[in-house]
C-alpha cells in the first residue's frame, strides 16, 4: 500500500467507469411529478448556468471552462441529446446523452439541483436516462462514469440500476475553487487546501 502526494492546489478523485452491454428488464418507470423536456437549440450560456446549478455541489467544472465554440460543437452535434428536468415551469435538473461513438450511448451528465436530492427523483431520472439511452438505433453499450467527489449515492445507484464497474482511474486536477471557477464556499464537504495560506503560516 502506498500514498501519493497530491500537488498543491489540486484535488484527486477515484473515477469509476461503468457500463451495460444489454438493456435491463423492462419495468414500469418510478413515479415522479418531474418531466424531461428536450432542449433543441441549447445556448452555451444557459447550458453553463444549468450545469453550474446541478454540478457545483460536486465540483463539476469541465463545461464551465470550455470555450464557447468547443461547447457549442458538442451541444449542436446530432449525436448529443440534451434535456432539462422540470417541476412545472421550474428547471431542476439535466440529462445529457452522448451517442457520438457508433453503437454506444454515454450518460454524459445526469443530475438534479440540491433541493431535489434525497426524494426519490434521482431514481426516476436514472431510469428515464437508461430507457432513453437504449432507445437509439443499434446501441450495444451504455456507459457512464462517476467519481469519489460526486454525490455519495451515485455509484451505488448506478450499480443498482444494472451498470457494472469495469475499471477505475485516479484523476488529479486543479481545485476549481482556487482557480476562481467556482466560489470558495462551494462543496464544503471537500476541504479547501489553499497553498497560499499554507506558505503564509510556514
Q: Which pLDDT tens digit goes with each residue over 106-128? A: 999 999 999 998 888 999 999 99
Q: Is 130 inside a domain boundary?
A: yes
Q: Is 193 inside a domain boundary?
A: no
**Domain total in the chain:** 1
Q: Is 200 inside a domain boundary?
A: no
Label residue 202 by pLDDT band (50, 70, 90).
very low
Q: Give the chain as a 3 state SS string.
A: CCCCCCCCCEEEEEEEEEEECCCCCCCCCCCCCCEEEECCCCCHHHHHHHHHHHHHHHCCCCCCCCCHHHHHHHHCCCCEEEEEEEECCEEEEEEEEECCCCCEEEEEEEEECHHHCCCCHHHHHHHHHHHHHHCCCCCCEEEEEEECCCCCCHHHHHHHCCCEEEEEEEEEEECCCCCCCCCCCCCCCCCCCCHHHHHHHC
Q: Is 45 inside a domain boundary?
A: yes
Q: If we measure between CA atoms, which residue out of 153, 150, 132 comes closest to residue 142?
A: 132
Per-residue model confidence (pLDDT) at position 201: 47
Instruction: Dig out the grid coordinates for 32 from the structure.
Output: 415522479
Tell me the C-alpha distance between 46 and 91, whole Å: 11
Please say if the pLDDT value at position 24 is more than 80. Answer: yes
Q: Is 189 inside a domain boundary?
A: no
Q: Is 112 inside a domain boundary?
A: yes
Enclosing domain of residue 94: 12-22+38-183
Q: If we measure between CA atoms, which residue out of 66, 141, 63, 156 comes closest to residue 106?
A: 141
Instruction: Dig out the grid coordinates for 113 from the structure.
Output: 439541483
Q: Is 33 inside a domain boundary?
A: no
Mean pLDDT value of segment 150-175: 96
Q: Is 196 inside a domain boundary?
A: no
Please say if the pLDDT value at position 52 is more than 60. Answer: yes
Per-residue model confidence (pLDDT) at position 28: 74
Do residues 104 and 142 lie in contact, with contact meaning Cβ atoms separated by under 8 Å? yes
Owner of C-alpha cell 479547501? 192
Do residues 10 and 173 lie in contact, with contact meaning Cβ atoms separated by under 8 Å? yes
List the CATH number of the domain containing 162.
Answer: 3.40.630.30
Per-residue model confidence (pLDDT) at position 26: 79
The dihedral sign for the CA sequence 105, 160, 166, 74: positive
Instruction: Dig out the grid coordinates for 170 from the structure.
Output: 485516479
Per-residue model confidence (pLDDT) at position 197: 66
List, for residues 72-87, the tens digit of each pLDDT value. Answer: 999 999 999 999 999 9
Q: What is the pTM of this model?
A: 0.93
Amino acid at each position: 500500500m502506498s500514498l501519493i502526494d497530491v500537488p498543491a492546489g489540486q484535488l484527486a478523485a477515484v473515477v469509476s467507469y461503468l457500463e451495460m452491454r444489454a438493456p435491463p428488464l423492462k419495468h414500469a418507470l418510478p413515479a415522479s411529478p418531474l418531466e424531461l423536456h428536450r432542449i433543441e437549440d441549447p445556448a452555451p450560456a444557459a447550458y453553463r448556468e444549468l450545469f453550474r446549478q446541478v454540478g457545483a455541489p460536486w465540483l463539476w467544472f469541465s463545461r464551465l471552462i470550455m470555450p464557447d465554440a468547443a461547447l457549442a460543437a458538442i451541444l449542436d452535434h446530432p449525436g448529443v441529446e440534451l434535456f432539462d428536468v422540470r417541476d412545472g415551469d421550474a428547471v431542476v435538473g439535466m440529462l445529457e446523452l452522448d451517442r457520438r461513438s457508433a453503437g454506444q450511448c454515454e450518460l454524459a451528465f445526469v443530475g438534479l439541483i440540491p433541493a431535489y436530492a434525497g426524494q426519490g427523483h434521482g431514481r426516476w431520472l436514472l431510469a428515464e436516462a437508461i430507457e432513453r439511452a437504449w432507445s437509439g438505433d443499434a446501441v450495444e453499450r451504455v456507459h457512464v462514469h462517476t467519481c469519489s467527489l460526486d454525490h455519495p449515492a451515485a455509484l451505488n445507484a448506478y450499480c443498482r440500476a444494472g451498470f457494472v464497474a469495469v475499471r477505475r482511474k485516479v484523476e488529479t486536477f486543479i481545485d476549481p475553487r482556487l482557480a476562481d471557477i467556482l466560489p470558495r464556499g462551494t462543496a464544503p464537504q471537500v476541504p479547501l487546501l489553499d497553498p497560499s495560506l499554507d506558505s503564509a503560516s510556514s
